[in-house]
Amino acid sequence: MSSRVFRRRSATAAWVYAAVAFGFIGSIVAARVLGLEEFGIFATALAVAGFFQALLDLTVEESLTKYGFRYLAAEDWGRFRRLFRQMLILKIVGGALATAILIALVPLADAIFDEEAVGTALLAAALLPLIQSPEHIGATALLLHSRYDLRGVYQAGSSALRLLAIVVGAPYGVTAAVVAIVVAQAISTTVSAFVGVAALRRFPREETRALAEDVPGIRSFVLQSSLATGVISLRTTLVPVLLGIAAGPIQVGLFRIAQSPQTGLAAASSPARLVLLTEQTRDWEGGQHVSVLDGIRKYTLGATAIMIVAVPAFFFAMPWLVETIFGSEYLGSVNAARVILLSAAIQFAIGWTKSLPVTIGRPQLRIVTHGLETLVVIPLVVLLGAEWGVTGAAVAVLVATIVFAAAWAIALTRIRTTMGADPTRLASSTTP
């Protein structure tokens, strides 16, 4: 490994961890300043906004990364630039649709969640999907330069702005906190736009030209990736929404606290996943298929070893951690946090499942595996959440995660079998 690559990977890890630290501190500040009831309303409004954003904001970043590296390898700069323009338009349209639906939902929100002030908080959050929609286009331009370290800098800056927004807004209530977050996101997106334009200007300039015969493949990739993201949103953002409907916003607030182990472990693996997405997609497009799959095996073994050591320590320390960090009024989340810790450990060990479908050009794998996970978690979170609140919802998440991991074990075995039989066959089958 060259010293430059090592420095970039180290810097990426440092900045991504800083971003997550800012986000985690933001949750602590919001929980302590707002209190249990208002924090539940805060968490519910952001969960609903996040759900519709993930559902309707078209996932073009994956196809932009996949085809972007393809055009870079071919030095097809005309199509490269046309691809960026088309993807930006799609992102903005999706974000606008999500914002429109959120605004339409505002009059019904209080009745749906049986809690006053949820509608007001949701109205304050409604602009988030539209404002945030172009953000990752600029960040993807950095990935195509293999500058995931600079993307880490951007993530940290964005999280720092959100933290500042919560510090400024939370003392004035839920609505003020959410409005401040929207303003912070507007600043963050503006910075991303400037960074993205600067990164694109570093590529050779050439008049844009039609994507031509690549259009069906790109369209299919975008649709499949968006469908996969929509399915994932049902699993991630819909769970707290359904819990809020079944058990009330306070349980949503407790669930947000209980998700801390998941947030932490996802953050711990985030730099590695970002490197995997960038470098393995580049290597796969260069024909190094066996090397990519071997990297997946090494990642899983290393991550599993880390979890065997870390999980018991955090499991037994959980009551002390929750009380010390968030306060005694959130101790009701301890059992749920322990359950979610187990789920998060499994997700940590198979963190490559997010990047591999993009790398090999088979986003449908995410649809199938996350679809199975969603089919399990949705009915369980309603049934168990209504009966046992936040702990029941956590159990639903754990069961669904186990199903997801089993589905990916089968899928990866089939991929490796295909590789062993005929590597060129897999290469051709992964072309969208």
Q: What is the per-residue pLDDT across 79-101, written as a single tens digit (0 to 9) for each?
A: 888 888 888 888 888 889 989 99
Share of the chain above pLDDT 70, in %: 87
Where do we find the tokens 């187990």? 342
Is the pLDDT at 421 greater than 60? The verdict is no
Which pLDDT score, from 0 to 100, does residue 113 have? 87
Per the structure block, which two tokens stand in for 359? 């790398």
Strands (E), 44-146: none
pLDDT digits over 19-35, tens only?
888 988 999 999 999 99
pLDDT class of 292 with cuts at 50, 70, 90: confident
pLDDT digits over 225-282, tens only?
777 666 766 667 788 988 988 888 999 999 999 999 988 888 777 766 666 666 777 7
Q: What does R_g of the chain's alpha carbons equal in angstroms?
A: 21
Alpha-carbon distances of 80 from 72, 146, 274, 286, rounded to whole Å: 7, 16, 21, 18
Determine which of 208-212, 244-248, 376-380 has the lowest per-residue pLDDT on average: 208-212
pLDDT digits over 113-127, tens only?
877 889 999 999 999
Report d(CA 277, CA 268) in Å as an integer. 16
Q: What is the pTM of this model?
A: 0.74
Alpha-carbon distances of 26 from 163, 341, 365, 405, rounded to whole Å: 5, 20, 34, 31
Report d(CA 131, CA 183) in Å as an integer. 9
Who wins on pLDDT, 263 or 287?
A: 263
Is the pLDDT at 299 greater than 90? The verdict is no
Per the structure block, which two tokens stand in for 138? 């600029």
Which pLDDT score, from 0 to 100, does residue 45 have? 92
For residue 209, what is the DSSP state?
Answer: -
pLDDT digits over 172-184, tens only?
999 999 999 999 9
User: Rounded to 5, what percent of the chain is helix, strand, coil?
Assistant: 90, 0, 10
Mean residue pLDDT of the chain comes to 83
pLDDT digits over 185-199, tens only?
999 988 888 887 887
Is the pLDDT at 426 greater than 60? The verdict is no
Run of H or E residues at 43: helix 3-56
Which pLDDT score, from 0 to 100, does residue 273 have? 67
Is the pLDDT at 344 greater than 90? The verdict is yes
Is the pLDDT at 414 greater than 90? The verdict is no
Report d(CA 258, CA 133) in Å as an integer. 28
Helices 249-258 and 238-247, packing angle to 10 deg: 140
- The separation between CA 37 and the C-alpha centre of its own chain, rounded to angstroms, equals 26
Helices 334-349 and 249-258, packing angle to 10 deg: 50
Is the pLDDT at 133 greater than 70? The verdict is yes
Position 365, amino acid: L
Q: Give first-to-last CA distance, the chain, whole Å.
A: 31
Per the structure, how many domains does the chain have? 1
> Which range marks the domain in which residue 192 is found?
3-429
Contact 225, 166 (CB under 8 A): no
> b/e string for 132-143 if b means 16 or more Cβ within 10 A?
bbbbbbbbbbbb
- Which of 355, 221, 354 minimizes the C-alpha distance to 279? 355
Which pLDDT score, from 0 to 100, does residue 419 have? 64
Run of H or E residues at 50: helix 3-56
Which pLDDT score, from 0 to 100, does residue 429 have? 41
Report d(CA 363, CA 18) in Å as an integer. 30
